[in-house]
Amino acid sequence: MKTIESTPKEFRREKTILSEKQVTDLLEWLSTNDTQKACWVALAAYSGSRFSELLRFTTDLLDENHTAFGDLFLETTRQIRTKGRGKDGKLLYKYVLKDKFLPFYKQWLKDREGIMKKNGKTHLALFIQKNGDPATDGTIRSWITSIGNHLGIDFYCHALRHFLVTEFSRKNIPSLLIKDIVGWSGLEMVNLYNDLSSRDKVWTELENLK
C-alpha cells in the first residue's frame, strides 16, 4: 500500500500592521537619507496604490492644484491602469492625501531633477534608478528589502494599503468613501484591509451606556 504524500503547506505571510508612528518615523528618517524612497513610501501610504500602480506614476500625473474630496486629496490628472479584468486592467483616477504626501513629493522632485540632468534623461517616470532610467520592479523590491531591514520587520507594499484603510477607519471615515478613494468596486475590500479591532474603534454610542 502506497503512502499518500501530504500536500505541501503553502507559505502564508504573517500580517504586518504598521502604526501611524512607525510610518511617520520612517518617512522622517527617509527624508534625510533617501528622498526618493520617502516619496515612494508616502505615495503608497497615502494613496493605497498597489505595487505595480506605483511604478505607473509620472510627474505629469500629479498637480497640487488638481484636487478632489474637499481639496484634501490630489487627483491624478488622468486615469491610470490598475488591477482588473481584461488585457489593460481597469482605468481609474488615483487619489493621494495631499498634505501628507506633498512635502515628500516636492523634496524628491528637486533631487530627481539633478539626477536627470546629470545623466541627460528626459522621461516622466516619477521613480528612477541611479542612472536616471525609470525604476523597475527590481528597483522597488530592493527598496522594500532595505526598508524592512531598517524597521526590523517583514515590510511589503500591501502593508501600507492596510495602514491607509485602518487609519481612515480609525478616524471614522465612512466605508463608502474609503472604497471610492482607494478605487474598489465593493465594500468588502474595506473590511479586508481594515485592521482595527472592536476595542480600537471609537464608539460614540458607548456614551448611551453611561
Residue-wise pLDDT tens digits, 167-181: 999 999 999 999 999
Region 27-35: what's the mean pLDDT? Answer: 97
Is 127 domain-assigned? yes
**pLDDT surpassing 60 at residue 13:** no
Q: Is the pLDDT of residue 23 over 90?
A: yes
Distance, CA of 101 to CA of 46 (rounded, Å): 7
- At residue 7, the pLDDT reads 44
Query: Is 209 a domain residue?
Result: no
Confidence label for 208 from pLDDT (cuts 50, 70 and 90): confident
| Residues ≥6 apart with Cβ < 8 Å to 24 | none
Per the prediction, the chain carries an average pLDDT of: 90
> Which alpha helices (DSSP H) does the chain contain, by range?
20-33, 35-47, 51-54, 98-119, 137-151, 157-170, 175-182, 188-193
Domain count for the chain, please give it.
1
Judge whether 14 lies within some domain.
Answer: no
36 domain residue, yes or no: yes
Q: How many helices (H) and strands (E) does the chain have?
A: 8, 5
Q: What is the pLDDT of residues 51-83, one digit of tens each?
A: 999 999 999 999 999 999 999 999 999 999 998
Flag whether 81 is in a domain.
yes
106 in a domain, yes or no?
A: yes
Q: At 30, which amino acid appears?
A: L
Nearest to 35 by CA among 95, 124, 103: 103
Domain interval for residue 98? 20-154
Alpha carbons within 13 A on the beta-carbon side of 100:
19
Nearest to 48 by CA among 152, 171, 167: 167
pLDDT at 14: 67
Reply yes or no on whether the pLDDT at 3 is more than 60: no
Residue range 87-96: average pLDDT? Answer: 87
pLDDT value, residue 5: 47
Residue 193 lies in a domain: no
Indicate which CATH number applies to the domain containing 61: 1.10.443.10
Does a structural domain hold residue 70? Answer: yes
